[in-house]
Amino acid sequence: MTLTDPGGKVVLELTGVTKRYPGPPETSVLRGVDLRVCSGEMVAIAGPSGSGKSTLLNILGLLDEPTTGTLRISGRPTAELRERDRVRLRATEIGFVFQSFHLVPYLDAVQNVMLPLVHQGHPRRGRRALAIRALETVGLGHRLHARPATLSGGEQQRVALARAVAHNPPLLLCDEPTGNLDAVNTTAVLELLRGLVAGERAVVVVTHEAEVEARADRVVRVVDGHAS
């Protein structure tokens, strides 16, 4: 099924994507998924455990490859890319946010946000400025030098958000970003995600939470490998 876009710039597009793992027996996880996500929208991917939504997110993030079908990110077909070009595209075009934060415990907030900027080749002085700006955007300008152990769960997730968007990617992929948060922090993170859906950016969130679905512009349900 082809999902209708809202009319913005197409940031990512899947066409006829399947994912199968060899057996025996062979396992089919995704079955002919079509999906288009545009700038200025937040899309929630929902479905029961084992439905294929995490596999779908991995394919969108260039962490896995489809068995058949095509994926385009910012108009570029990814199947034709060499591995180093896939790595570069992933680093420059995509930001990732995970349920478990994945902050480096011995680095402070600024250093955690700067870390991926190092691998993206940003100049040292520019890295720090980008990191501070991103932390100020998520309301943590006063905790720049705090280490993860001194931050609440909600603050750690906000640092993770700052890290994901510091290089201003057009696509933000979130895997259960509120799964480890209480109700108050869930609301705060969702408000930040809504604020990040602006200009040329699209946000895709894998979730099982009704509140996240309610905040999304669209909900894509994945059941038995089919998206609708």
* CA pair distance 156, 100, nearest whole angstrom: 9
Domains and CATH numbers, the chain: 10-227 (3.40.50.300)
How would DSSP label each residue in 90-149? HHHHEEEEETT----TTS-HHHHHHHHHHHTT--HHHHHHHHHHHHHHTT-TT-TT--GG
Residue type, 59: I
**Band of residue 163 on the pLDDT scale cut at 50, 70, 90:** very high
Please give the pLDDT value at position 135. Answer: 97
Task: List the one residue out of 202, 171, 198 whose CA is nearest residue 38.
Answer: 202
pTM score above 0.75: yes
- For the cut 50, the answer to whether the pLDDT of residue 73 exceeds it is yes
Which residues, at least 6 apart from 103, have a Cβ–Cβ distance to it below 8 Å?
112, 148, 156, 159, 160, 163
**Band of residue 5 on the pLDDT scale cut at 50, 70, 90:** very low
**Band of residue 225 on the pLDDT scale cut at 50, 70, 90:** confident
* CA pair distance 111, 96, nearest whole angstrom: 17
Q: Model confidence over 11-53: pLDDT tens digits? A: 999 999 999 988 788 889 999 999 999 999 999 999 988 888 9
How would you class 67 by CB atoms within 10 Å of its CB: exposed for 0-12, middle for 13-18, buried for 19 or more? middle
Residue 146, CB-side half-sphere exposure with 13 Å CA sphere:
15
Please give the pLDDT value at position 16. Answer: 95
123-150: average pLDDT: 93
